[in-house]
Structure formats: structure tokens, C-alpha cells
Amino acid sequence: MRLVSATVAALAAAATLGTALPAQAAAPALQIVKIYYDSPGADRRSNSSLNAEYITLLNTTKRAVALEGWSVRDKTGYTYEFGADVVLGAKKRITVRTGQGGDGTSSVYWNRKQYVWNNDRDSAYVRDAKGRAVDSCSYKASTRAAYVAC
């Protein structure tokens, strides 16, 4: 009998404790983790410089996410839309590079010939295939950093 009473008391305490904790917001399915907004060296729009400017996204879920129709855009409205063949595995990252290149499983390319991310300040937005806002990250550049961790 004593064991049952102790168990009931422990369950009651756990239930009380559980309701007393603040609710945490769920992480977005696709989360912005880094924006490298100021590629090294002079901004001469070489493809290597453009590709050193990028945004990295993380699939926070325990399942693969088909990214067809998902998009990344900056405050100006420059938009990258993922194609049908991009599937991001559970807990995996993908980098969207500004310049040109061959898409793979860990990097895709915007195929632009001009920079996207402003060196002084900007905002990044991720939308799902239905156009719903999923995540965003804004930054104001410091003099020592060329990227922001979101």
C-alpha cells in the first residue's frame, strides 16, 4: 500500500511540475542557422566570391522534408525556390550559395551574378510550399563578423 501511495504522490508531483513549466515554441521544420553575408576579399562578383556568400538551413525534424516549392528570400525580395529534386534528410543541413554551380545534397546554387545579402544589414525569410512563413533571421553587421548565426 505504501508503494502505491508513493507512486501516486510522485505522479501527482510530476503532473504539477509539468503544468508549471512554460511551454516552449516548437522549432520550425526548416530553420535558418547561418547567413554568410560578406564573402572574403573584394566584392568583384567573381563566381567564387558569390559562392562564398550563402545561407545555411537545418531540417529540425526527425523525417526527410521534400523542399519542392519552398523558398528563401531577402528583404529586397530576391527569391530562391527549391526544385522538385531537393529532399533534405532528417537533422541535415543544406546551403544555398548565391553564385553558380551544380546542385548536390548539401549545397544548391541561386545562379545569380550579383550578391543577395547586404553587408550592412538584411533579413532572410523561409517559406514552405504553401507560402507560409516558417523562419526568419535579421542581422545588423558588426565590424568583425562576416556572418551571423541565427
> Is 19 a member of any domain?
no
Is residue 53 domain-resident?
yes
Phi, psi of 118, rounded to the nearest 5 degrees: -70, 145
Residue 6 forms part of a structural domain: no
- Model pLDDT for residues 102-138, shown as the tens digit of each residue: 999 999 999 999 999 999 999 999 999 999 999 999 9
Q: How far is CA 134 from CA 41, 47, 78, 81, in A?
A: 33, 29, 17, 14
Give bridge partners of residue 124 from the DSSP assignment. 74, 137
| Per-residue confidence (pLDDT) for residue 88, from 0 to 100 | 97
**Does some domain include residue 93?**
yes
Q: Is the overall model pTM greater than 0.95, yes or no?
A: no
The model's pLDDT over 2-58, given as tens digits with 9 standing for 90+, comes to 333 333 343 344 444 444 444 556 788 999 999 999 999 888 999 999 999 999 999
Confidence at residue 14, expressed as pLDDT on a 0 to 100 scale: 40
Q: 12 lies in a domain?
A: no
Question: Residue 79: which CATH number?
Answer: 2.60.40.1260
Residue 60 has pLDDT above 50, yes or no: yes
The pLDDT assigned to 25 comes to 64
Burial class (CB in 10 A: 0-12, 13-18, 19+), 73: middle
Domain presence at residue 3: no
Give domain status of residue 141, yes or no.
yes
* pLDDT (mean) for 61-86: 97
Asked, for residue 13, whether it belongs to a domain, the answer is no
**Domain containing residue 130:** 30-149
Per-residue confidence (pLDDT) for residue 73, from 0 to 100: 98
Residue predicted with more confidence, 147 or 145: 147
**Domain total for the chain?**
1
